[in-house]
Amino acid sequence: MKSQISIIMGSDSDLAKMKDAGQVLKEFGVPYEIKIVSAHRTPKLMYKYAEEAENRGIEIIIAAAGGAAHLPGMVASISDLPVIGVPINHNKLEGIDALLSIAQMPKGVPVATMAVDNSYNAGLLAIRMLARFNPKLKQKLRAYKSKLQTKVKIANQKLGK
Ligand code: RP5
**Residue 110 banded pLDDT, cuts 50, 70, 90:** very high
Nearest CA, atom 5, ligand 1? 66
Confidence (pTM): 0.96
Q: Which atom of ligand 1 is nearest to the CA of 12?
A: 13
pLDDT tens digits along 45-76: 999 999 999 999 999 999 999 999 999 999 99
Confidence of residue 161 (pLDDT cuts 50, 70, 90): confident
- Dist. CA 48 → ligand 1 center (Å): 20
Radius of gyration of the chain (CA): 17
pLDDT of res. 111: 98
- Which ligand 1 atom minimizes the distance to the CA of 98? 6
Q: What does the pLDDT read at residue 76?
A: 98
Return the residue whose CA atom lies nearest to atom 14 of ligand 1: 10
Strands 5-9, 60-66: pairing kind: parallel
Please report which confidence band the pLDDT of residue 91 belongs to, taking 50, 70 and 90 as the band edges: confident
Residues 6+ positions from 122 with CB-CB distance below 8 Å: 21, 62, 64, 84, 85, 86, 114
What pLDDT does residue 154 have? 96
